[in-house]
Amino acid sequence: MSINAQFPKWRSRRLRRTNAIRRLVSETQISVNDFVAPLFVREDIKEPQQISSLPGVYQHTLESLKLEVDSLRKLGIPGVILFGIPKSKDEFGSGAWDPDGIVQLALKDLKENFGDDMTLIADLCVDEYTNHGHCGVLSPDGTVDNDATLEIYNQIALAQADAGADICAPSGMMDGQVSSIRNALDSSSHTQTIILAYSAKYASSLYGPFRDAVDVIIKDGGDRRGYQQDYANLREALTEIKADISEGADIVMVKPALSYLDVIAKARAEVEVPIAAYHVSGEYSMVKAAEANGWLDGESVMMEHLLSIKRAGADIILTYAAKQAAEILQD
């Protein structure tokens, strides 16, 4: 008996022999349809500003944001998620629900220019807008007041939906946020507005470049471990995910992505709704920094990372590499 017939492992070797064969039998496919590009729009600038810790990513003006969204649309990317940087901040983050706030103005402009050709997602939180950097209203003892924050989230959701958001994406990890927002939207004739819940958002150390991008400094050196997920816990994440679905979430998210592939995979096995994963700023910037130092092939590693997120079970990948990945896939 020949060794080829005796050992089935040779079959795998045959199926890896050429690039065309590998493509033909590939178990996981990634495409531009999987990507959402996070974009930043700032109120007090006249030209786009490069974010030093996020190479290739900018704080945009309304005009440059429109040009960037158009370029993403032409590459076939189906969606963007918007984060705003206001000119001034206050203790409540009132710019987040101001009809003339920067994200609401951006949503109106983009919806007017691109209609349904682009899915417009609005991050729903107040950390970019508060002078203390937390994701909600603070109690006198300095902790986040969950229920008072929900009232604010409802106002933000309505402002975003009125401005043209297709999807509201609550990211504050407040208990009951999905139910509260769903009720507010439905009561104001926004029954078609989708909720993408940051259901398993971990208290990660990988958010640093993002905080640079939105000028967030958490008051008194504080952190968000009181309301974001403990990165030691998987079962807790699944409880949060299922709770958000029961409250009306249309899509759920795991954030970050690469350090939490097990969470994505477990969630995919247990729930039926679409799962998004956020390939966060630190995950992106580490590759860019290593590439700049000549330590690795940045393009290859970035695509490997994105494919691993898809392989774990994510249907949607939010990534700062969306444009670069789309260009690679086009070639």
26 belongs to a structural domain:
no
End-to-end CA separation in angstroms for the chain = 44
Query: pLDDT tens for residues 303-313?
Result: 999 999 999 99
27 belongs to a structural domain:
no
Report residue 223's pLDDT band, with 50, 70 and 90 as the boundaries: low
Average pLDDT over every residue of 266-273:
98
8 belongs to a structural domain:
no
How confident is the model at residue 270, as a pLDDT? 97
Question: CA torsion, points 74, 258, 198, 230, in degrees to nearest 10?
Answer: -160
178 belongs to a structural domain:
yes
How confident is the model at residue 164, as a pLDDT? 98
Q: Which of 74-83, 201-210, 255-264 has the lowest mean pLDDT?
A: 201-210
How confident is the model at residue 7, as a pLDDT? 61
20 belongs to a structural domain:
no
Is the torsion defined by CA of 122, 320, 113, 77 positive or negative?
A: negative
271 within 8 A of 245, measured Cβ to Cβ: yes
Query: pLDDT tens for residues 104-151?
Result: 999 999 999 999 999 999 999 888 888 776 777 888 887 888 899 999
Residue range of the domain that includes 86: 32-330
193: domain CATH number? 3.20.20.70
Residue 168 pLDDT more than 70? yes
How confident is the model at residue 142, as a pLDDT? 77
Report residue 1's pLDDT band, with 50, 70 and 90 as the boundaries: very low
Q: Which of 13-22, 50-59, 194-203, 321-330 has the lowest mean pLDDT?
A: 13-22
The average confidence (pLDDT) of the chain is: 92
Q: Which of 57-61, 192-196, 225-229 has the lowest mean pLDDT?
A: 225-229
Active site residue 201: yes
How confident is the model at residue 59, as a pLDDT? 96
295 belongs to a structural domain:
yes
Number of domains within the chain: 1
Q: Which of 125-139, 185-199, 210-224 has the lowest mean pLDDT?
A: 210-224
Active site residue 310: no
How confident is the model at residue 216, as a pLDDT? 66
- Burial per residue of 136-169, b for 16 or more beta-carbon CB atoms within 10 angstroms, e otherwise: bbbeeeeebbbeebbebbbebbbbbbbbbbbbbb
Measured CA distances, 216 to 135, 231, 325 (Å): 11, 22, 28
Average pLDDT over every residue of 224-251:
90
Of 255, 288, 310, 323, the catalytic one is: 255
Of 89, 108, 201, 323, the catalytic one is: 201
12 belongs to a structural domain:
no
92 belongs to a structural domain:
yes
| Number of neighbours of residue 74 by Cβ within 10 angstroms | 9
